[in-house]
Structure 1
Amino acid sequence: MQHALEGNTMPPMGRRACLGRLMGAGVLAVTGRHSWGANVTKDPKVQAATDRALQYLSRERKRQGYWEANQGTYRAAMTALAGTALLCEGSTTTRGKYAEDISLAVDFLLDACQPSGLIGYPDDYHYTYGHGFSMLFLSQVFGEEEDLDRRRRLQDKLEKAVRFSAEAQTSRGGWGYVSAKEQQDFDEGSTCITQVQGLRACRNAGIVVPREIIDRAKKYIQDCTTPEGGVQYSIRGGGPRPPITAAALAALFNAGEYQGDHVDRLMSYCRTNVWPGAGGIAQAQHFGHWHYTHYYYSQVMYRLEKDWEKYFKEISAELMRTQSTAGGWQDSTIGPVYVSAINTTILQLAKGCLPIYQR
């Protein structure tokens, strides 16, 4: 565990630094409200929809500090996703409109940490998702945490979480729904993505992450890529899938891989199957997991910059069209908290104040 991921990127900008930059650029209102970056046209309708979505998430928090999916499931994953969406607004554990929500979410997840390093609960048969999402969320909090005791606790839990991910990785470099030791070395693509993003977020926050973990995960994604450039469900097959391909592309970007034949093939596949003809988002809902797909593809488009404004205009219009009067979005499979959290994050990417999502 001695070797951290190497990189030549500049240190990530924290939310306080981002806030100062936005104030210096004159793009914050005198009220001090967080606003859009100067490179994106401010749309009051988008801001209003975002505000309603944030308020919806805040209302959905349980008194104990967690969010949950349908039937009370996936509490770690839902808490991390909702907490991340609230962080994107600009609030921290001590400052901002959603400080209480974020602080309670952090405490809930810290209390859910197991001696093994798992963030979540061993009886959750998909705990790898929650573990990855929680590493991402808590690492973003860690970078801004001012309370020294909580900061030390966050560091300890994140270091153990990284070790757990390393030990849970399969012999092929992927991850399954639970640790490889518990599931006969089973792995699949979507869980791999959550681990790569979570590990990279930890690394960006200063937590030591062995380079070989990420390198093996990148190799796994490459091994799951079909000749047409799509990423299949697992290394065993299943055919190319737009959701996993978009997520894999975002994960590769997080891992510092922005170009090359492999990335180009994935990008070409997404242009055909996720955002066909660089347009037609509403018409491309023929595949499942549409919100999941665009949660990751929006991160890719934001980093690419070239087509971001056109893409954001389309995706925000579709999200506003389907938003409920309560401020959230409906989903019968996992639940409204899930799709509402990821959609709210999409709407706030251009704020650029979470290191893991920055260009």
Structure 2
Amino acid sequence: MPSRFLVLSLVFLAGPLAAQGPSIRLGGEIPAEVDTIYERGLAFLARTQGEDGSWRSRNEHGITGICLMAFLASGEDPNYGAHRHHVKGALRAIISGQERDTGFIPNSMYHHGFAMLALAEAYGAVDEETLWDGSEKEGERQSIAATLEKAIELAVNAQKANRFGGWRYSPTSTDADTSVSGCVLMGLLACRNAGLAVPEETIENAITYMQRNTASSGFVAYSGGIGGGGESMARSSVATLVYAVGHKRETDEFTAALGHISERLDHKETAHTHYFYYYMAQALFQGNPEAWDRWNRDHSSMLAEQQAPDGSFSGSYGDAYGTAMSLLSIALNYRFLPIYERF
């Protein structure tokens, strides 16, 4: 992907791509397969983006957010690179899809969380002066910051109404689970990292909820306290990640969850595999760089074998989802997203 290296050269000459100021640390040698996988995957996403800028349906904005992050994570300039129109189209789709009266980005809190995360990663990196140029949606124009502020408020209010301190599928849910809560919390942490105001109480209450569901073994329950929901390496990975990015590395829960996943690098998830890869990659990268390096090389080789001739990866929520999540699981090799910086 030649343009990535052009961008990297420009970074050294003109400063960081994003206003958030992520440092560009490519680290060690990138596995040989990664660039090829990424190029082919992005080409598939570019071909399958809808005319409205979304993937799948208009009410699944989290999937559009995941696809958007795959483009942003490639290192290509989002304003002048080959995929600038795909980036801007996805941003317009998410912003236009937000419910203006509530701030909710439908159709579930999963989608709300992933959409928040994607917008926060784009904030400061994308030139908003030209975001709506030539768009039929200009009447729905709103800034990324304004969209995020409303989304944050929705998440904060939903948590206040939830006695567990977390989130579930609906903004009005009165129960919670660690999967949805981890997703929303990562969106909020990305917003905070981008310089937006997020109440500290909201972050702390969400982390406390995750801690209540983390056993000394590193097992993380789905809901209802320790022991509920069966074994899940994905949930242990989610917990490890939120503790790291939420500055809770000194806690027993972080140590336990990280130890649990670090001892199981060869684990193969049988359900929601792309979701697992996405979180496992980030959790190991944040908590155990040496383990991540080994896992990353094996994982990259596996993806090279699994990628379809058209560049896609089949996923439980469609090929766009499977492809974008697979790309994001190896995008840590590039470290262009602010949320991929080590905290």
Give your verdict on TM over 0.5.
yes
Please say if 1:336 is aligned against 2:319. yes
**1:219 aligned partner:** 208
Q: Partners in 2 of 1:227 and 1:301 — Cα distance?
A: 18
1:323 lines up with 2:324 in the alignment:
no
Aligned to 2:182: 193
The match for 2:18 is: none
Q: Which consecutive unaligned segments of at least 5 residues does structure 2 have?
A: 14-23, 132-140
1:40 to 11, 28, 38: 28
Assess if the C-alpha contact under 8 Å between 2:59 and 2:97 holds in 1: no
What is the aligned partner in structure 1 of residue 144 from structure 2?
154
Give unmatched runs, 5+ long, in structure 1.
Answer: 1-14, 25-35
* Counterpart residue number, 2:164: 172
Q: CA deviation at 1:20?
A: 5.4
Deviation sequence 1:242-283 (CA, Å, 0-9, x none): 1111112112212122233111111122134x41xxxx3xxx
Does the aligned pair in 1 maintain the 2:33–2:300 contact within 8 Å? no
2:309 aligned partner, one-letter code:
T
Query: Any residues of structure 2 matched to 1:106-125 within 5 Å, and which?
Result: 106-121=91-106, 124=107
1:243 aligns with 2:243: no
Q: Is the 8 A contact 1:242 1:293 kept in 2?
A: yes
Change (3 A) 1:73 1:233: farther
Distance 1:229 1:175 in 2: 21
**Are the structure 2 counterparts of residues 238 and 307 from structure 1 closer, same or farther at C-alpha, using a change threshold of 3 Å?**
closer
Tell me the distance in 1 between the aligned counterparts of 2:58 and 2:322: 15
Distance verdict in 2 for CA 1:232–1:263, change over 3 Å: same
Partner of 2:245: 254
Partner of 1:233: 222
Q: Which SS does the other structure have where 1:316 is aligned? A: helix
How far did residue 317 of structure 1 move? 0.8
CA distance in 2, matches of 1:38, 1:159: 32
- Deviations 1:110-138 (CA, angstroms, capped at 9, x unpaired): 101112443433xx3xx101111111111
Q: What's the CA shift for 1:37?
A: 5.0
CA change 1:149–1:86 in 2 (3 A) is closer
Q: CA deviation at 1:227?
A: 4.0
CA contact (8 A) 1:37 1:350 kept: no
Please say if residues 243 and 293 of structure 1, whose CA atoms lie closer than 8 Å, have aligned partners that are also in contact: yes
Contact 1:22–1:37 (CA under 8 A) maintained in structure 2:
no
* 2:336 aligned partner: 353
Q: Could you tell me how far 1:324 is from its partner in structure 2?
A: 0.7
The Cα shift of 1:92 comes to 4.6
Partner of 1:53: 41
Return closer, same or farther for 1:190/1:21 CA change in 2, 3 Å cut-off: farther
Instruction: State the 1:82 CA deviation.
Output: 0.2
CA RMSD of aligned residues (A): 2.4
Call closer, same or farther: CA 1:286–1:256 in 2, change over 3 Å: closer
CA shift for structure 1 position 75: 2.2
Counterparts of 1:73 and 1:190 in 2: how far apart (Å)?
23
Does structure 1 retain, via aligned residues, the 8 Å contact 2:26–2:334?
Answer: no
1:247-326 alignment runs, 5 A limit: 247-272=238-263, 274-275=264-265, 280=266, 284-303=267-286, 304-326=288-310
1:29 corresponds in structure 2 to none
Q: Could you report, residue by residue, the CA deviation over 1:8-51 in whole angstroms, capped at 9, with x for unpaired residues?
A: xxxxxxx99x9358647xxxxxxxxxxx9542213443211111
Alignment match, 1:137:
118
1:146 CA drift (Å): 2.7
Instruction: Pick closer, same or farther for the CA change 1:223–1:66 going to 2, 3 Å.
Output: same
- Following the alignment from structure 2 to structure 1, what is the Cα–Cα distance between the partners of residues 158 and 333? 34
The TM-score, its normalising length taken from structure 1, stands at 0.81
Residue 315 of structure 1 deviates from its aligned partner by 0.9
Contact 1:224 1:234 in 2 (8 A): yes
Counterpart of 2:55?
Answer: 67
Matched position secondary structure for 2:336: coil
Q: How does 1:201-212 map to 2 (within 5 A)?
A: 201-212=190-201
Distance 1:144 1:73 in 2: 24
Q: CA deviation at 1:287?
A: 3.7
Q: Identity rate of aligned residues, in percent?
A: 26
Change in CA separation of 1:58 and 1:19 when aligned onto 2, cut-off 3 Å = same
